[in-house]
Amino acid sequence: IQTIAISNNISHDVINPSHEISNMNPIEKYQDKILTAFIESVIKTHEISTQLIAHKKFQNNYHEVDIESKNLLRFTYKNFGLFIWKSDQFFLSFKCGAIGLYSRGGHDHNDQLSYELYFNNPIVTDPGTGVYTSIPKIRNYYRSITAHSSPQILNHKRQIIEPGDLNQGMFSLNSKQQSELIYYSEKLIIGFNEKISTIRILLLNDNSIQIFDLLLNDEMNFTQSKPIPFSKGYGFFKTS
């Protein structure tokens, strides 16, 4: 387990000055009193109490590392679906939003609800591109959900769900696999992806970063693949 200690002094948005974004519409069809109470509790207290959702499937991940910097800058690109916290030594990003090329996803990967984390050195990284058209297998390998830190979900047939169909062509993921932002503030972001029926909560505590995933479909299950090798540039890749 690795954790990141965060200073209390986090600056306001550099790009977007709004402090909070709240939208419960994406999970409307799943909402019951318990789920609503859970989300409202997380937003109000900035704590995750699993007692409210003990009957649901969920998973927790923590990262712990001391950060000496007193300030974290916060960058918000809501229309692009990218949220960033950074300092000279620290970088944290979260992907949650629309798919490019009017939802065609020409250069998109199946990386919705993924995050990247650096503290002096990489901790959780995006693996890169690998190649484009020269080796389709490698192209799909690097743009698959198993290549990213997104929640990985098994369907009822025990198959990993790819939110965007990798078989439509090497420059298309046109499967309505975008994620929806439920809530965003200085130290908390909540996103939802319909294709994998999962809510991901990223919470910046004083002493840690907590990644919490809540699965809303009882027929699905969590899984985790081995991280794939980092591609340091186009044409640089390993298959294992």
Q: Which two tokens stand for residue 111?
A: 């990386």
SS3 content of the chain, % helix, strand, coil (to 5): 15, 30, 55
Apex 60 CA angle, 56 and 62, nearest 5: 165
Lookup result for tokens 């198993």: 146
pTM for this predicted structure: 0.86
pLDDT of residue 233: 75
DSSP one-letter code for 46: S
The helix/strand/coil state of 140 is: helix
* Tens-digit pLDDT string for the chain (240 aa): 444 444 344 333 444 444 466 777 778 787 778 888 899 999 999 999 888 888 889 999 888 866 544 578 899 998 889 999 988 888 999 999 887 766 666 668 899 999 999 988 889 998 888 888 888 888 888 889 999 999 999 999 999 999 888 888 877 777 677 889 999 998 899 999 999 999 999 998 777 899 999 999 999 999 998 888 888 777 777 765
For 164, half-sphere exposure in the C-beta direction (CA atoms, 13 angstrom radius) is 31
Residue 99 CA from chain centroid, whole number: 14
Q: How far apart are CA 26 and CA 33, in angstroms?
A: 16
Strand partners, 82: 77, 95
